[in-house]
């Protein structure tokens, strides 16, 4: 069966794992090593963004840096959600936890706002609020980790805090950590994500393998 997105799938001993969503210029291989360090043994579903910005892959169009094409973002969020459902049936995996960086974290946040049923949680690295939702989804009990950079020019602090508050209002169990960083990732991001995975119960899905 041919799925809608070019992707990489790495099986694991559980039916639930990670959905890897790369940043601008990345591809389906970018977050594999990071995710293995965060969640050893988890199955990995890693699609490639379908938008091209020059030579760079992205998950949705933007008008300028920090200015998103909202209709395109919402349409591609729906298409990505459909892919996650298709892949779940194909590979026999449950709704995954999204692990997104930058552009990938933004579409992961959009998935939470528009199609929350396809995810069981999210790790959002350097995300911003993708758009103001018309209404809040039901995110009751979904764990979400937001890792933001104190000096990140791509994700203003006010917008990141707005995202965290909206997700909390929707019922998600949100942990927001602000790191002494810009848009790039630090070793501390990996450590916090690894600890969150173990503490949030996500690691329990790998039991008795």
pLDDT tens digit sequence for 171-198: 999 999 999 999 999 999 999 999 999 9
The alpha carbon dihedral of 70, 71, 72, 74 has a sign of: positive
Confidence of residue 16 (pLDDT cuts 50, 70, 90): confident
Share of the chain above pLDDT 70, in %: 95
Q: Which domains does the chain have, with CATH numbers?
A: 7-204 (3.40.50.1820)
Given a contact cutoff of 8 angstroms between Cβ atoms, the answer to whether 175 and 145 are in contact is yes
Could you give the CA distance from residue 106 to residue 23 in angstroms, rounded to a whole number?
A: 9
Give tens-digit pLDDT for 108-163.
999 999 999 999 999 999 999 999 999 999 999 999 999 999 999 999 999 999 99
Q: Is 152 a catalytic residue?
A: yes
pLDDT digits (tens, 9 = 90+) for 67-105: 999 999 999 999 999 999 999 999 999 999 999 999 999
Percent of the chain at pLDDT > 90 equals 90
Q: How far apart are CA 123 and CA 106, in angstroms?
A: 11
Q: Is 102 an active-site residue?
A: yes
Which CA distances in Å does 75 have to 72, 95, 186, 193? 5, 20, 32, 29
Q: How far is CA 194 from CA 23, 30, 36, 168, in A?
A: 19, 17, 10, 22
61 an active-site residue?
no
The tokens describing 111, both together, are 């998935």
Q: Which residue of the set 35, 102, 148, 200 is catalytic?
A: 102
Pick from 152, 171, 162: which is nearest to 131 by CA? 162
Cβ–Cβ < 8 Å for 97, 123? yes
Radius of gyration of the chain (CA): 15
Helix, strand or coil for residue 70?
helix
Instruction: State the catalytic residue, choosing from 7, 61, 176, 183.
Output: 183
| Active-site option among 152, 189, 200, 202 | 152
Q: What is the DSSP string of 94-127?
A: PPPEEEEETHHHHHHHHHHHH-GGG-SEEEEES-
SS3 state of residue 78: helix
């Amino acid at each position: 069966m041919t799925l809608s997105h070019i992707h990489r799938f790495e099986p694991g001993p559980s039916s639930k794992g990670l959905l890897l969503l790369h940043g601008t210029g990345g591809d389906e291989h970018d977050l594999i090593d990071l995710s293995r360090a965060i969640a050893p043994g988890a199955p990995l579903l890693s699609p490639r963004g379908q938008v091209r910005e020059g030579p760079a892959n992205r998950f949705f169009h933007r008008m300028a840096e920090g200015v998103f094409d909202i209709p395109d973002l919402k349409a591609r969020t729906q298409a990505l959600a459909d892919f996650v459902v298709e892949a779940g049936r194909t590979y026999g995996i449950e709704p995954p936890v999204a692990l997104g960086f930058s552009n990938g974290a933004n579409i992961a946040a959009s998935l939470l706002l528009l199609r929350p049923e396809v995810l069981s949680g999210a790790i959002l690295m350097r995300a911003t609020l993708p758009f103001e939702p018309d209404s809040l989804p039901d995110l009751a009990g979904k764990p979400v980790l937001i890792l933001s950079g104190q000096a990140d020019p791509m994700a203003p602090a006010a917008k990141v805090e707005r995202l965290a508050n909206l997700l909390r209002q929707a019922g998600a169990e949100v942990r927001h950590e602000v790191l002494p960083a810009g848009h790039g990732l630090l070793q501390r991001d990996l450590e916090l994500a690894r600890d969150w995975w173990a503490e949030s119960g996500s690691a329990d899905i790998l039991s008795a393998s």
